[in-house]
């Protein structure tokens, strides 16, 4: 609101403006440089303020790819993706657009169009709230994107009747909060809680955390796994395919990839699977071949 008020004082909507995107000033006047990709956020905020029909984001890549070209040779380009799907991919490693650039335009349902400055004829990728019209005309892919990161760690706590013990999970998570550790995911089964964090964040305090969990929660079993990569399979089409998660897991089994952790979102938009760092690339390739390559060949 403050940005809009300031712009209204100086901008004439009938004129064109060039606005530097990667820095701004704090309320006290101090100049502050934004994080990498900060100009994405500036463009998004301005699109919100002027009620733009579309926010064009010109960059050096032709839209958003299904997966990392360093892992998949010549991966498909995604023509249309939802804000939620992009958020899921960005959180797990895809970095075409700054995460925080989504929120200002999503608030007003303004589509984002990712375009390539060096290839302006390329159609790029549209990011929008609802892809229903596109899907009706073109069909829906089961999987929209596959991404992930290496070098995670997991703490697995097993204790009988802990699932019915009031406050058990809160006390477990508070231990990590005390050490200022950001938690990536918390898969839960009966009496078993797994806390997944970035491995680098616990290097200096992992033994202290283990000791504190033992002392305060008195688990029957406590395990630390440090060889963990997380693979995120994202797709609005998965909820329309009966047994999609089972097919994913079966594909890993066919390629002899051991699954260490699995977590599916309640909206069935994404499945995150933990594998060894060694299996990371192979896991992404087998899902791409099965759900992207095969669907394209049979289209």
β-pairing, 31-33 vs 55-59, is unpaired
Name the percent of the chain lying above pLDDT 90: 61
Top pLDDT among 298 and 41 is at 41
Distance CA 158, CA 220 (A): 6
Distance CA 209, CA 195 (A): 12
Asked if pLDDT for residue 15 goes beyond 70, the answer is yes
Asked if pLDDT for residue 167 goes beyond 90, the answer is yes
pLDDT of residue 298: 65
Name the pLDDT band for 182 (thresholds 50, 70, 90): very high
| Average pLDDT over every residue of 87-104 | 83
Name the percent of the chain lying above pLDDT 70: 97
Tokens in use for 77? 């380009």
Domains, in order of start, for the chain? 2-138 (3.40.1160.10), 141-299 (3.30.2130.10)
SS3 76: coil
Count of Cβ atoms closer than 10 Å to residue 184 Cβ: 19
Count of Cβ atoms closer than 10 Å to residue 287 Cβ: 26
β-pairing, 55-59 vs 112-116, is parallel
Q: Which of 5, 4, 38 is nearest to 24 (CA)?
A: 38
Longest dimension (CA), the chain: 69
Tokens in use for 245? 């998660």
pLDDT of residue 94: 75
Q: What is the pLDDT of residues 218-267, one digit of tens each?
A: 999 999 999 999 999 999 988 888 888 888 889 999 999 999 999 888 78
């Amino acid at each position: 609101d403050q940005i809009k008020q300031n712009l209204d004082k100086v901008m004439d909507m009938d004129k064109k403006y060039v606005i530097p995107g990667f820095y701004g000033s704090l309320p006290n006047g101090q100049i502050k440089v934004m994080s990498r990709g900060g100009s994405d956020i500036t463009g998004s905020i301005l699109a919100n303020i002027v009620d733009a029909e579309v926010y064009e984001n010109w960059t050096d890549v032709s839209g958003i790819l299904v997966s990392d070209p360093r892992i998949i040779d010549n991966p498909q380009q995604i023509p249309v993706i939802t804000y939620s799907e992009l958020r899921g991919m960005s959180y797990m490693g895809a970095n075409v657009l700054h995460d925080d650039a989504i929120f200002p335009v999503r608030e007003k349902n303004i589509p984002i169009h990712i375009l390539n400055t060096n290839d302006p004829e390329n159609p790029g990728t549209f990011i929008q709230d609802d892809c229903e019209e596109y899907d009706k005309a073109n069909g829906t892919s089961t999987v929209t994107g596959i991404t992930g990161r290496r070098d995670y760690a997991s703490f697995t706590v097993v204790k009988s009747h802990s699932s019915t013990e009031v406050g058990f999970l809160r006390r477990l998570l508070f231990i990590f909060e005390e050490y200022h550790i950001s938690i990536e995911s918390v898969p839960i089964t009966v009496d078993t809680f797994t806390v997944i964090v970035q491995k680098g964040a616990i290097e200096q305090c992992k033994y202290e955390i283990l000791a504190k969990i033992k002392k305060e929660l008195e688990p029957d079993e406590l395990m630390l796994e440090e060889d963990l990569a997380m693979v995120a399979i994202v797709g609005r089409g998965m909820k329309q395919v009966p047994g999609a998660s089972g097919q994913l897991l079966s594909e890993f089994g066919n390629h002899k990839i051991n699954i260490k952790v699995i977590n599916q979102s309640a909206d069935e938009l994404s499945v995150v699977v933990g594998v060894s760092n060694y299996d990371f690339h192979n896991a992404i390739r087998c899902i791409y071949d099965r759900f992207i390559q095969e669907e394209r060949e049979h289209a």
